[in-house]
Structure 1
Amino acid sequence: MSLLSIRGVRKTFGANVVLDGFDLDVEQGECVVLIGASGSGKSTLLRCVNLLETVDDGVIELDGTDITDPRADADRIRSGIGIVFQSYNLFPHLTVLDNVTLAPIRVHGVRRDVARAQALEMLDRVGLVEKAGAKPDELSGGQQQRAAIARALVNSPKLMLLDEVTSALDPELVGEVLDLLRELKADGITMLICTHEMSFAREVADKVCFLHHGRPLEVGPPGQVLADPKEPRTREFLSRIIKSGRL
């Protein structure tokens, strides 16, 4: 059984069909990278998996549980999913440590001393323990994004969703975030990632999914999808990426 199973998912916004019968499986410990043009449905898919959007049709199962069932406990489900957006969404008035401990204490009822110890361990893991007392505006963009990843990881999620987490960073800061994602992959953390960093996808992904008009047009190993795509639309998309110097 796949850790994440997406079957026939459809999502519309008014007359705009964003996901159109979407199917995808993500296995335990797998890193699946979503690629495609802007508007192809990548971010909406992540938001549907995290129940930030309600699907119009289809089923999403996480670890065998139908999380799209209207009777499902959305808060409990989200506690098992970590999500990181391209904007860091850190609370500017809180320290890095307080940002990371906020959900464990307020939402999950973890004792403050336990939450603090877990947060410091996670900040150490992402190379930010020395910045625990700093405010977000005292950090670089790369450090803020690593803090956001630490916040998502501190609850030991079953699944990590990462939405263009390097797109808001200056080029020199992209590498430090991608290095962290490589470490998470090596640790066996299951990840579903939207990215335009094709070299990263080629190196780290177990599977690449090319989205076109809300459908998974081509899915396969990175060596096949990125180097020898079968679909003309995939080849067209990658040719534009090559011209931009990102592949």
Structure 2
Amino acid sequence: MSLLTIEGVWKNFHGHSVLRGIDLEVQPHEVVSLIGPSGSGKSTLLRCVNLLETVDDGSIHLDGQEITDPRVDADDVRKRLGIVFQAFNLFPHMTVLDNVTLAPRQVLKTPKAQAEEEARELLARFGLAAKAGAYPDQLSGGQQQRVAVIRALAMQPRLMLLDEVTSALDPELVLDVLGIIRELKESGMTMILTTHEMSFCRDISDTVCFLDGGVLVEKGSPEKIFASPEQPRTREFLRSVLDSGRL
């Protein structure tokens, strides 16, 4: 059974359709990358999956449950989803350890000692054990984004949503964050990510989806999408990316 099923999802803002009948299935342990020009609907789709936006038509199922049913408790659904945005959104007045343990303690009611032990294990796993007592402004941008990913992982999500997590970073820090995403893939984490890092997308993805104008124009394996896309619009987009040096 698919872990996530998106069926005929439409989303409108001020009379403008930003998602137009999106259909997508995500299997357990699969990494799905969403690519496309700015404004194509990639981030909006992630926000709909996390119930930060209400769909206007269609449905989304997580583990067989229709999470877009208005009777569903959105906070309960979000316990099973981890989302990381472009901005780090760390609490500046809290240490790294406190940032990571806050949600498990308050939402999952994990005892403090257990939450801290599990947080320290995650920090060590991703090379930040020495930063547990540091504050966000004492970290580099890449370290802050790694903490944001770790904070999402601390909730033990079924699915990770990563929205352009490298776009706010200096180029030399991008590899720092891409490494953590690659490690997550190797550990079997199911992920949907939006990215402009085409070479990384081709390397890490099981499925690549090209969106344009709110439509899922084409999807397939990285080999198919990057080497022999079927749709003219996909070919045009990838040519423009190649010309800009991003592929």
Runs of 4+ in 1 over 6 A off after TM superposition: none
Q: Aligned runs of 1:123-202 on 2, under 5 Å?
A: 123-202=123-202
Equivalent residue, structure 2, for 1:112: 112
- Per the alignment, in what secondary structure is the counterpart of residue 160 of structure 2? strand
Equivalent residue, structure 2, for 1:232: 232
Matched, 1:98 2:95: no
Equivalent residue, structure 2, for 1:218: 218
- Per the alignment, in what secondary structure is the counterpart of residue 59 of structure 1? strand
Equivalent residue, structure 2, for 1:73: 73
> Partner amino acid for 1:220?
G
Shift of 1:129: 1.1
Q: Aligned runs of 1:38-77 on 2, under 5 Å?
A: 38-77=38-77
- Per the alignment, in what secondary structure is the counterpart of residue 226 of structure 1? helix
Could you tell me the TM-score, scaled by structure 1's length?
0.99
Equivalent residue, structure 1, for 2:121: 121
> Partner amino acid for 1:187?
S
Distance in 1 separating the partners of 2:125 and 2:57 = 39
The Cα offsets for residues 133-168 of structure 1, whole Å up to 9 and x where unpaired, read as 000010000000000000000111000000000000
Shift of 1:126: 1.5
Distance in 2 separating the partners of 1:126 and 1:12 = 39
The Cα offsets for residues 94-123 of structure 1, whole Å up to 9 and x where unpaired, read as 000000001111122111111111111111
Aligned-pair identity (%): 63
> Partner amino acid for 1:243?
D
- Per the alignment, in what secondary structure is the counterpart of residue 70 of structure 1? coil
Shift of 1:18: 0.5
Shift of 1:193: 0.3
Shift of 1:240: 1.0
Could you tell me the TM-score, scaled by structure 2's length?
0.99
Unaligned ranges ≥5, structure 2: none
- Per the alignment, in what secondary structure is the counterpart of residue 227 of structure 2? coil
> Partner amino acid for 1:129?
A
